[in-house]
Structure 1
């Protein structure tokens, strides 16, 4: 089960069960549940703003920067997180049965290599990269200089053949970042699919939703069981 990742809420019982049943799996925690718990103890927009930014950050230094804002607001935040929420932060999905049914239907109509919606997500931002300046070292390597509205300048290096950018977004997400897109679009009629990780392939999507989740009756029809004690 070393390839399994399980995302749960902050239930300590589930955490203990995970260690017993799936000891080698990666245990993640739903970030929404984390924030629901946090709001009960720490109030203020600074927590919700910077915690979400920290959860979504790709670079470690950015994560630490946003977390420093949270920690500066209260000295007890970090000890509280370490004690009660020390798992990897992740997102949860609801209505799994309906989601599977819908996506199974979608998967049957899909063709091609990469999911069309993912390719579309890359093509749209690739048309608005006028603020990026590309300097190529060779076909597969380039520097990308980005000038923001506040005149802040940042430079990253993109390695197309390795699917890597020094901003780390491409490696983490599996989809080209804005710097990579700036380099890719310097080519004539680029094949966007070849730069997207196979995790977003039609084949993987079909495999994900090929299984069947058993339907269940309402709880009034469940067998009556004598538990012996009240929980």
Structure 2
């Protein structure tokens, strides 16, 4: 998102980021104020898909809020009290999986009541409740006696790409040159370059 602002001076870069965040927070706040559901809009769409996927499963009660959910291909155990399933999707996401949805409907309840609190409408509103305060132009800034920031001593154009961590993988769509065979530019044979080519060395001496 900030790739466009990386080559700007520090103040211009911060101003660019501030405007983008201010616009994003305002738009998110406006959307959630018009939304009437108890859970976030994205979770509502996921629930509709999970309802469709759960139609092929049958839930059989085994105990108090414990169900065995299966179809022709798989079988799982759902515990509605602990809000978990043996497929572990519910445990990892906080959203009832398709097996959990089948068990919840069998228990005559609503899946949205089993969604984690972080996906509720109240949490969404609280996340975008505060706003970023607008700032006046630089000509209206208050002058201070603080020393100015020293200029960067590095020459040349500032880098556009961010520095990657050691554990990050390289671009899978870019072919690496490290595994390519070395090919000589003089004799066009593989295994050496033109500097170590015997034919090139003998030709130069002659």
| Normalised TM-score (structure 2) | 0.52
- For residue 173 of structure 1, the aligned residue among 74, 93, 115 is 93
- For residue 142 of structure 1, the aligned residue among 67, 91, 94 is 67
> Within 1, Cα distance between the matches of 2:77 and 2:55?
17
Quote the offset at 1:192 in angstroms. 2.4
Counterpart contact for 2:50–2:98, Cα < 8 Å: yes
Q: Which residue of 1 aligns with 2:102?
A: 182
> Within 1, Cα distance between the matches of 2:37 and 2:51?
21
Query: Between Structure 1 and Structure 2, which shows a larger proportion of helix residues?
Result: 1
Q: Which residue of 1 aligns with 2:111?
A: 192
Once the two structures are superposed, the pairs formed by residues 87-166 of structure 1 within 5 Å of their partners are: 95-111=20-36, 113-115=38-40, 117-147=42-72, 153-166=73-86
If you compute each CA radius of gyration, which structure gives the higher value, 1 or 2? 2
Quote the offset at 1:102 in angstroms. 0.6
Quote the offset at 1:226 in angstroms. 4.5
Distance 1:215 1:143, change over 3 A: same
> Within 2, Cα distance between the matches of 1:228 and 1:96?
27
- Unaligned runs of at least 5 residues, structure 2: 1-19, 155-206
Quote the offset at 1:179 in angstroms. 1.0
> In terms of mean alpha carbon deviation, does 103-112 or 154-163 score higher?
103-112
Calculate the aligned-residue CA RMSD, in Å: 3.2
- Unaligned runs of at least 5 residues, structure 1: 1-94, 148-152
Q: Which residue of 1 aligns with 2:183?
A: none
